[in-house]
Chains A and B, each alone.
Chain A
Amino acid sequence: MFNNPLDFENLKNISRRHFLWESAAGLGAAALGSFLAGCESRSAGIKNLATATDPMLPKPPHFPGKAKRVIYLHMAGAPSQLELFDFKPELQKLNNQLCPPSLLEGKRFAFIRGTPKMLGPQADFKQRGQSGAYVSEHLPHFAKMADEVAFLKGVYTDQFNHAPAQLFVHTGSPRLGRPSIGSWVTYGLGSENNNLPGFVVLTSGGKTPDAGKSVWGSGFLPSVYQGVQCRSEGDPVLFLSDPEGVDRDLKKKTIDAINDVNRQHFKEFNDPETLTRIAQYEMAFRMQVSVPEVMNINNEPDYIHQLYGTTPGKASFANNCLLARKLVEQDVRFVQLFDWGWDSHGTDENLAIDIGFRNKCREIDRAMTALLLDLKQRGLLEETLVVWGGEFGRTPMQENRENKNNPFLGRDHHVEAFTMWMAGGGIKPGTTWGETDEIGYYPINGKVSVHDVQATILNQLGMNHEKLTYHFQGRPFRLTDVAGKVIEEIIA
C-alpha cells in the first residue's frame, strides 16, 4: 500500500495532528503535546542546541585531548595473543599434556569439550627494542615498532562468541542497539572536514565481521553518526560521477530544493532523522569531488606502495591501511578497519594456528607497520590514536571440537586474557601494561576490561567517558555503561 516508507510516515504524522487539533480536548492536548515534544527534543542531548542545523559541526572536547582522530584496526575472529605478543615458555613445557581440571571447572568454551590438551606457543619469540617487549617472528616488520606502541596484555571480556564479543568491543554492550565507538566519537566531537564523512569503515579479508554492520552502527544516536562503509574493491564509493546530461549546477539546485523541503519538514516535526537526510544529501554532493581524490591510492608514489605492500585495485588490508592514512590526513575523525579471518580453531588449513594464521600475520605485518611509520613521518601520529585488537583471545589449550581432535592445530575462544596495543595520540610509547600467568590463562596484574579500553580511547580524544551521554528511553546512556576506568599507565 505504501511503496515509499516516507509516505507512510507522513500519513502517521497527519493522523496524529488531526487527533491533536480536532479532538474534544484539542487545545489542551496540543499544549501538552508541544510541551512534551519540547522535552523530547531537548532530551535528545544538550549538544543538539549547537547542532540544530548541522549534526556534524565540530564541538570542543571536554578537556584538551592529545588525539584528534582514531584509526581502529580490528582483527575479526580474534588473533592468538599466544603466537604474537604473550610469550609463555612454561606453556611449551606443558605441550600435549592434559589440561588440569582447575582451569576447566565452571568455565564454558565455545567449542572445547571434555578435557583438552595444552598447546605450547606455535611461534618463536624475541625481545624487541629498548622496551624489551616480546613480539613473535610472525611479525618481523612490526617487531621493530615495539618501542612505538603500548601493549595491554591483560584485556578481558565476558563474551565468548564472535558477534556479541565484537558488539561489546565496539558498542560497549554485547546486545544489539547501542551506538558504536566511532558514532559516539563523531557525536561527541563532530567532524572537521566538511567534504568527507566523519566515520569511515573499511573491511578486508573477504567477509564483514560476524556482528554485521551493527559494529559501526549508530544505535539510538541519530543515524548521521553511523560509519560510512566504503567498498574495498573497485571504486570505494559508487555512483560518484554525475549522470549524463546532468551538470553539477543542476545537481546542486536539485539538492538545494530537496533540502529546503526537508528543512520545512524538520521545522514541523523536529525529527533529527530529517537532519540526517539533509546532511547526507549535502555530504554526497561534496563527496563527488573529495572522494575520488582521497580514496584513490593510484596517485601515491611507488615508494609508498612498497612501504605498505599495496596493490591498487585489489582488496587488501594493506590498501585499507593506506586509505586510512589518507583519510586521517584529511581530518576524518574515526577510521575503522576490519580484517576478517583470524578465527584459528584448527578446523581447516586456513584456520590452522601454524598455517593459515601465519598467512594472516604476513598480510597485516608490513601494512600496519607501514601505517605507523607513515603517520609518524607526516607528524600525524602525534594526533592520531591507533588501536589494534580482536574481540577476545585464544585458549592456551588446543581445541578439541566435540571432544575429538581437530584436523589442524588450533585454539578456542578465550575471554580471560588477550593482548591489544595502542600507539600515537598521547599513548606512552614502549610500554607494556598487564601480565598474564605462566600459561597465559588469567591476567595476574594490569587486568583491564573492554570498557577500560573504551574509556581510554575517549580520554585520549579529550572526552570524559562518564560525561559523554545520550538520553534515550528515559535515561542517559554511555559507551562504557556504568563501568570503565581510564588506563593511566599507558598514557604519556
Chain B
Amino acid sequence: MLWLTQIFGRFHPLLVHLPIGILIIGFLFECLAFWNTYRMLRRAVQPTLFLGALSAIISAVSGFFLSREGGYDDRLLMLHQNFGIATAAFATLLFFVRKSVVTYFPDKKRRRIVRIFMYAPLMGLLSITGHLGGSMTHGEDYLFAPPAQDEKTATPSVKITSIAAADSAVLYADVIEPILEAKCYSCHSSAKQKGQLRLDSEEHIRKGGKHGEVLVRGVADSSSLYGRLMLPLEDEKHMPPNEKPQLSSSEIALVQAWVEDGASFNKRIGSFQQHDRIKGYLAALLTHPDKDESIPECDVSAADDNAVRALTSRGVLILPVGEESHYLSVSFVNARNTGDADLQTLLPLKQQIVWLNLSRSKITDEGLKTVAQLSGIRQLQLEYTAVGDAGLNHLTSLEQLRLLNVVGTKVTDAGVASLSPLTNLKKLFLYQTTVTAEGIRKFQSSTPAVIVDTGSYQLPVLATDSVVYKRKT
C-alpha cells in the first residue's frame, strides 16, 4: 500500500498542471461568455469548474503523499501545501456558488461581471501555489537568477589564491566547502534536501542522508560522498546529476584526498600526509586557463562581403576565426605572389583582421606600411619575406600585436629595438635572423615579458646515440 501512495505522490509534478490549465480555461470561458457571440461557452463553464476542482483536490492529495518523502525546505513546503489546499477549496466553493449568483443579481450584464470577479482570488491562489512549487523544485532564486554561467568560464571556487599560501590554509574550509557550495548546495543545503542530505555544515555532512552516512573516514571508495562522483555520468546515482555542472577531475581528486586522510574539518593542508599531491591538484585548479588574448573579447560588425570576395578571388584565404565570430584570419599561403600593392585590398577589413599570415610572400618593407594600418592585428607572420628593420619600424602602431614571427628575414638588432613600444607583445620569433644576443638583452631590459625565441637549437652528440644494443654473448 505504501508503494502505491508513493507512486501516486510522485505523479504530483504531472498532476498539478491539470488544475492550473483547467481552472484557467474555465476563467477564460467565463470572460469570453461576457459577449453574446460566445454565450454558448457559458454552459461549458460549470463542467470545466467541476473538473478543475476535482483535479485540484487530486493534486493536493498527491502532493501530500510526495511531501512525506521529504527532501524539501520545510518553510516553502508548508506554504505551498496551505496555498494548494486553499486553491482546491476555493475552486470547489466557486463550483457550488457560481450558479447562485443568479438570485442576487437579476441584471444579466452585471451578473456576468460579478462572476468574472469571483475568479480573482482563485487566480491569485493558483499563481502563488504554482510559484511556490516551482521554487521548491528549481530553487528559490530560479525565477530571477542570472543565467547559469558557462562551465568553462566559471572560475574555480576555492578560496586559495596562491599555492605558496596553501600550506596554512584549511583544506575543508578553503577548498572542499567552496567546491561543495558550488556544485552540491543547490540540492543539499537549507533550500533543498534531496535524499534528506545536507552538505552545508560539518554536522550535516556527518549525519548523512536517507541512505545513511556519506563519509567513511579514510576510505574514499566506501564513502558515497566521493563514490557517487566516480560513478559513470549516465548512472542514475551519479552526482551531481547528469544535467548539472560537474566537478572537474582535480576537484574530485581533492575530495578523494580529503576523505582518505580522515575528512578532517579543521586540518591545515600543510599537515596532510599527501600535502604535495593536494597542492598538485590545487595548482591544476588554480591555473585556470589563461585568458585567451589571441582575439578581442567583444565581437565586431560583420566584414564587408565585397572586400572578402575580392581577396578570395585572388586566392587569399579568409576565414572567421570561429563559426560565430566576425574576426578574420587571413593567410596568403595560396597567394604567395602577393606584393606590396596588393595589400591595400586588406584595408576595408581592418576592423576584422586579427591574424595575418604573409609568410613566404613577395612583400617588402613598403608593404608593412599598409599592414601597420590594420590596427587590430594580434598575430603577424612574416617568415621568409624580404622585410627588414625599416619595415618593423612601421609596425609600432599595431598596439594589439601579441605575436610576431620574422624568422628568416633581414631583421637586425635595430629592428627589434624599434618594437619596444608594442606593450602587448608576448612572443617574438627571430630564428635565422642576424639579431645578436646583445640586441636581445637590450630589448628585453625594457620588455621583460616578451618571450623571445632565437632558435638555432642543437642537440649534443651522446655516446648512446650510436650504441646498437645486442644480445650479450
Interface residues of A in 31-77 (CB under 8 A from B): 58-66
Known pairs A445-B253, A445-B256; A379 contacts B322 (CB<8 A): no
- Chain B 277-313: CB-based contact to A (< 8 A → 1; otherwise 0): 0000000100101101011000000000000000000
Q: Which of A64, A194, A373 contacts B325 (CB 8 A)?
A: A64
In the complex, what residues of B have CB within 8 A of residue A356's CB? Answer: 469
The residue among A309, A349, A374, A489 with the most chain B CB atoms within 10 A of its own CB is A489
B457 lies within 8 A of A62 (CB): no
In the complex, what residues of A have CB within 8 A of residue B295's CB? Answer: 64
B459 lies within 8 A of A63 (CB): no
CB distance from B221 to the nearest CB of A (A): 11
Interface residues of B in 186-226 (CB under 8 A from A): none
Task: State A66–B462 Cα separation when bound (angstroms).
Answer: 35
A446 lies within 8 A of B322 (CB): no
CB distance from A311 to the nearest CB of B (A): 13
B249 lies within 8 A of A445 (CB): yes
- Chain A 348-378: CB-based contact to B (< 8 A → 1; otherwise 0): 0100101110110010001001100110111
Interface: A192 (CB within 8 A): yes
> Chain A's interface: helix, strand, loop or mixed, by majority?
loop
CB distance from B401 to the nearest CB of A (A): 14
- Chain B 319-331: CB-based contact to A (< 8 A → 1; otherwise 0): 1111111010001
Known pairs A362-B467, A377-B455, A445-B249; A192 contacts B331 (CB<8 A): yes
Task: State A225–B431 Cα separation when bound (angstroms).
Answer: 34
B407 lies within 8 A of A60 (CB): no
A331 lies within 8 A of B331 (CB): yes
In the complex, what residues of B have CB within 8 A of residue A352's CB? Answer: 471
Task: State A352–B470 Cα separation when bound (angstroms).
Answer: 10
Task: State A193–B317 Cα separation when bound (angstroms).
Answer: 9
- Chain A 306-344: CB-based contact to B (< 8 A → 1; otherwise 0): 110100000000000000000000110000000000000
B455 lies within 8 A of A378 (CB): yes
> How many of B's residues come within 8 Å of A, CB to CB?
49
A303 lies within 8 A of B289 (CB): no
- Chain A 99-119: CB-based contact to B (< 8 A → 1; otherwise 0): 000000000000000000000
Interface: B250 (CB within 8 A): yes
B457 lies within 8 A of A373 (CB): yes
CB distance from A187 to the nearest CB of B (A): 15
A58 lies within 8 A of B319 (CB): yes
Task: State A480–B284 Cα separation when bound (angstroms).
Answer: 25
CB distance from B413 to the nearest CB of A (A): 19
Known pairs A362-B467, A382-B403; A60 contacts B320 (CB<8 A): yes
Interface: B429 (CB within 8 A): yes
In the complex, what residues of A have CB within 8 A of residue B250's CB? Answer: 489
Known pairs A62-B322, A63-B324, A366-B465; A377 contacts B431 (CB<8 A): yes
In the complex, what residues of A have CB within 8 A of residue B427's CB? Answer: 379, 382
In the complex, what residues of A have CB within 8 A of residue B462's CB? Answer: 140-141
Task: State A445–B469 Cα separation when bound (angstroms).
Answer: 36
The residue among A330, A369, A373 with the most chain B CB atoms within 10 A of its own CB is A373
A379 lies within 8 A of B464 (CB): no
Q: Which of A141, A192, A366, A462 contacts B317 (CB 8 A)?
A: A192
Known pairs A62-B322, A64-B294; A140 contacts B464 (CB<8 A): yes
Tell me the nearest residue of chain B to A435, going by C-beta.
B277
Tell me the nearest residue of chain A to B335, going by C-beta.
A194
In the complex, what residues of A have CB within 8 A of residue B456's CB? Answer: 303, 377
Known pairs A64-B292, A140-B462; A379 contacts B334 (CB<8 A): no
A307 lies within 8 A of B457 (CB): yes
Task: State A330–B290 Cα separation when bound (angstroms).
Answer: 29
- Chain B 221-246: CB-based contact to A (< 8 A → 1; otherwise 0): 00000000000000000000000000
Task: State A433–B315 Cα separation when bound (angstroms).
Answer: 43
Task: State A52–B243 Cα separation when bound (angstroms).
Answer: 38
In the complex, what residues of B have CB within 8 A of residue A65's CB? Answer: 322
Interface residues of A in 169-190 (CB under 8 A from B): none
A378 lies within 8 A of B457 (CB): no
Interface: A256 (CB within 8 A): no
In the complex, what residues of B have CB within 8 A of residue A376's CB? Answer: 453, 455, 457
Known pairs A359-B469, A377-B431; A488 contacts B248 (CB<8 A): yes
Q: Which of A309, A378, A382, A491 contacts B289 (CB 8 A)?
A: A491
Task: State A489–B280 Cα separation when bound (angstroms).
Answer: 11
Task: State A376–B327 Cα separation when bound (angstroms).
Answer: 26
In the complex, what residues of A have CB within 8 A of residue B321's CB? Answer: 60-61, 64
Known pairs A64-B322, A355-B471, A370-B459; A377 contacts B429 (CB<8 A): yes
Interface: A258 (CB within 8 A): no
CB distance from A374 to the nearest CB of B (A): 7
Tell me the nearest residue of chain A to B246, going by C-beta.
A485
Known pairs A64-B321, A489-B250, A489-B284; A307 contacts B333 (CB<8 A): no
Interface: A492 (CB within 8 A): yes
Tell me the nearest residue of chain B to A330, going by C-beta.
B333
Interface: B46 (CB within 8 A): no
B459 lies within 8 A of A141 (CB): yes
Task: State A230–B364 Cα separation when bound (angstroms).
Answer: 36
The residue among A374, A378, A488, A491 with the most chain B CB atoms within 10 A of its own CB is A378
A307 lies within 8 A of B317 (CB): no
Task: State A141–B322 Cα separation when bound (angstroms).
Answer: 38
Q: Which of B284, B333, B405 contacts A193 (CB 8 A)?
A: B333
Q: Which of A194, A377, A408 contacts B334 (CB 8 A)?
A: A194
Interface: A413 (CB within 8 A): no
Tell me the nearest residue of chain B to A488, going by C-beta.
B248
CB distance from A322 to the nearest CB of B (A): 13
Q: Which of B253, B327, B407 contacts A379 (CB 8 A)?
A: B407
Q: Which of B322, B323, B324, B464 contacts A362 (CB 8 A)?
A: B464
CB distance from B346 to the nearest CB of A (A): 18
Task: State A488–B284 Cα separation when bound (angstroms).
Answer: 10
A362 lies within 8 A of B333 (CB): no
Interface: A394 (CB within 8 A): no
In the complex, what residues of A have CB within 8 A of residue B315's CB? Answer: 194
Interface: B393 (CB within 8 A): no
Interface: B177 (CB within 8 A): no
Interface: A478 (CB within 8 A): no
B464 lies within 8 A of A446 (CB): no
A307 lies within 8 A of B325 (CB): no
Task: State A146–B214 Cα separation when bound (angstroms).
Answer: 40
Task: State A94–B356 Cα separation when bound (angstroms).
Answer: 57
A60 lies within 8 A of B323 (CB): yes
- Chain B 447-473: CB-based contact to A (< 8 A → 1; otherwise 0): 000000111111100101101111100
In the complex, what residues of B have CB within 8 A of residue A192's CB? Answer: 317, 331, 333-334
Tell me the nearest residue of chain B to A366, going by C-beta.
B459
Interface: B381 (CB within 8 A): yes
Tell me the nearest residue of chain A to B327, going by C-beta.
A64
Interface: A428 (CB within 8 A): yes
Task: State A360–B320 Cα separation when bound (angstroms).
Answer: 43
In the complex, what residues of A have CB within 8 A of residue B253's CB? Answer: 445-446
A63 lies within 8 A of B464 (CB): no
CB distance from B110 to the nearest CB of A (A): 62
Q: Which of A63, A194, A369 contacts B323 (CB 8 A)?
A: A63
B381 lies within 8 A of A379 (CB): yes
Interface residues of A in 467-492 (CB under 8 A from B): 488-489, 491-492
In the complex, what residues of A have CB within 8 A of residue B403's CB? Answer: 379, 382
Task: State A487–B429 Cα separation when bound (angstroms).
Answer: 29
B322 lies within 8 A of A61 (CB): yes
In the complex, what residues of B have CB within 8 A of residue A374's CB? Answer: 457
A349 lies within 8 A of B323 (CB): no
CB distance from B86 to the nearest CB of A (A): 47
Tell me the nearest residue of chain A to B431, going by C-beta.
A377
Task: State A491–B200 Cα separation when bound (angstroms).
Answer: 32
Sample of 4 more A-B contacts, CB < 8 Å, known A60-B321, A330-B333, A370-B459:
A66-B294, A331-B333, A355-B471, A366-B459
Chain B residues with a Cβ under 8 A of chain A:
248-250, 252-253, 256, 284, 287, 289-290, 292, 294-295, 315, 317, 319-325, 327, 331, 333-334, 381, 383, 403, 405, 407, 427, 429, 431, 453-459, 462, 464-465, 467-471
- What are 5 A-B interface contacts by the 8 Å CB criterion? A61-B322, A307-B458, A307-B459, A354-B469, A445-B249
